[in-house]
Amino acid sequence: MNKDLTVGRPASVLWRFCLPLFGSIIFQQLYNIADSWVAGRFVSQNALAAVGNSYEITLIFIAFAFGCNIGCSMIVSQLFGAKNYRDMKTAVYTSMIASGVLCLALMLVGILGCDALLRLIRTPQEVFTDSALYLDIYVWGLPFVFFYNISTGIFSALGDSKTPFIFLAVSSLSNIGMDILFVTAFQMGVAGVAWATFICQGVSCVLALATVAGRLRKIPVTGKVKRFSGWLLRRLVVIAVPSILQQSFISVGNLLIQSVINGFGTEVMAGYSAAVKLNNLVVTSFTTLGNGVSNYAAQNLGAHKLDRIRDGFRAALKLVWILCLPLAVLYFTCGRALMGFFLDAPTELALHSGITFLRILSPFYFVVSAKLVADGILRGAGMMRQFMTATFTDLILRVVLAFVLSATALGSTGIWCAWPIGWTVATVLSILFYRAGPWKEAAPAPVEVAAVEEAGVEEVPVQEAEAVESAEVVV
């Protein structure tokens, strides 16, 4: 059901909207966790290392899908908040077409270049074949990844966080069952893990697209809805490209860090692979909550209700810190048990690497969660330069410090120490940028995109453009 996020008490609205998002990303992460768990428990420690190694490359592809999600979601949110339903539908169709073209290009890159990427990150020979096999299957499923992300972005833009939750809950649980079936009953090894994810994501994508189509048909409009708009495409690109670059650079940074980790051997790789999946479960969950805050901010921007954005920030911060507490305590105190969930008969070095990683990072979840909430406001309000500055500061610090500290007596532990330093500095920047935001200023009135195009205008004044794209006021 569509939900207007511009009315009602901000705290109640955000909590009702964001909690299903939190649940959705938990199930989304179960895809990757299930792959690693089945590989580590039912195949081998090397299989776990291979899946984890491949995962860092898949994140590059996911970065593009995520950027398309953000671009579509922010534009649709603003137009929905402004009650401009005709242009909103055009934005959806334009996003679908543009995402399809981008997806095909990335599939070509993946088919031709995955082996080269695996060599670039110094993948050990004993896990190279399984890593390449996992990636080959994953690349063919990219259309499912892209269009599912676009669909969830549309749901969120319409204020509906429950529908994606249902899809992900069913598909994730199905993925676990199929992982076990393909690996244990059919003895397919790493290929079985990849095919299970491929099938479940495909079914989810088809169902999500069908639901989106039905939802859009129920929204009444006046006048003809265009199937493609060059104007809106430019607006989408303005938002999507920075998000793609942000996520891509993070993925490249993670690849560089993975190359440092790979230099310590397969045992450290396996420990890191298990621990980083647990870490990503938390961080990605908070990132998704930040995306929910972005939708909230974008709708209220479109409705000219900037005063609600400040209240939304406080409510979201309280929510993430409540969720942070049990997760941080669990990871800090129960690392050995959690690592044992992934590793069957693990070596002591693999266990030590993963446990140390979790104990170093988990206390700083309170820090990074505050950054991600602030980032959500910055994205939704179009403060992309500020958002990118904070994000790249975190990335650069993590990569540089991983190389520097790993060369000291700290060894692999030095790599883990790079995370909290980067998070802390970036959080300070994001909070400062948020506090400088124009939350007491009047929002500009939204421009009618269709009218602009019909008039043959190529550009509009910056203030008017911001009302449509949220790009200097909308990773």
The first and second tokens of residue 250, run together, are: 């993070």
The first and second tokens of residue 204, run together, are: 């989810």
pLDDT at 446: 47
Q: What is the pLDDT of residues 381-434, one digit of tens each?
A: 778 788 889 988 998 999 999 999 999 988 889 999 999 999 999 999 999 999
**Considering only 98-107, 220-229, 359-368, which range has the smallest mean pLDDT?**
220-229
Domain ranges of the chain: 10-469
pLDDT at 360: 95
With b meaning 16 or more CB within 10 Å and e meaning fewer, what string describes 53-64? bbbbbbbbbbbb
pLDDT at 448: 54
Q: Is 60 exceeded by the pLDDT of residue 470?
A: no
Mean pLDDT over 316-335 rounds to 91
pLDDT at 454: 52
Mean pLDDT over 444-457 rounds to 49
CB atoms within 10 A of CB 325: 11
- For the chain, give the percent of residues with pLDDT over 90: 22
Mean pLDDT over 70-95 rounds to 85
**Considering only 205-214, 296-305, 326-335, which range has the smallest mean pLDDT?**
296-305
State the chain's mean pLDDT as an integer.
81
Mean pLDDT over 342-354 rounds to 79
Q: What is the pLDDT of residues 177-187, one digit of tens each?
A: 888 888 888 88
- Rounded Cα gap, residues 377 and 473, in angstroms: 10
pLDDT at 105: 93
Q: Is 80 exceeded by the pLDDT of residue 226?
A: yes
Confidence of residue 475 (pLDDT cuts 50, 70, 90): very low
pLDDT at 1: 57
Q: What is the pLDDT of residues 113-125, one digit of tens each?
A: 888 888 887 788 8
pLDDT at 232: 84
Q: What is the pLDDT of residues 132-165, one digit of tens each?
A: 888 899 899 999 989 998 998 898 888 887 888 8
CB 295 within 8 A of CB 5: yes
pLDDT at 143: 94
Q: From the centroid of its chain, how far is CA 399?
A: 20
Based on the number of CB atoms within 10 Å of its own CB, is 112 exposed (0-12), middle (13-18) or buried (19 or more)? Answer: exposed
CB 397 within 8 A of CB 421: yes
- Rounded Cα gap, residues 294 and 74, in angstroms: 7
pLDDT at 442: 40
Q: What is the pTM of this model?
A: 0.67
Question: Which amino acid does the sequence have at 121?
Answer: I
CB 142 within 8 A of CB 61: yes
Q: Is 70 exceeded by the pLDDT of residue 73?
A: yes
pLDDT at 147: 93
Q: What is the pLDDT of residues 199-212, one digit of tens each?
A: 988 988 999 999 99
- Rounded Cα gap, residues 135 and 126, in angstroms: 16
Which of 69-83, 225-239, 321-335 has the largest mean confidence? 321-335
**Residue/partner pairs of 434-439 with CB below 8 Å, 24 or more apart:** 434/313, 434/374, 434/377, 434/378, 436/386, 437/309, 437/377, 437/378, 437/381, 437/383, 438/306, 438/381, 438/473, 439/306, 439/307, 439/309, 439/310
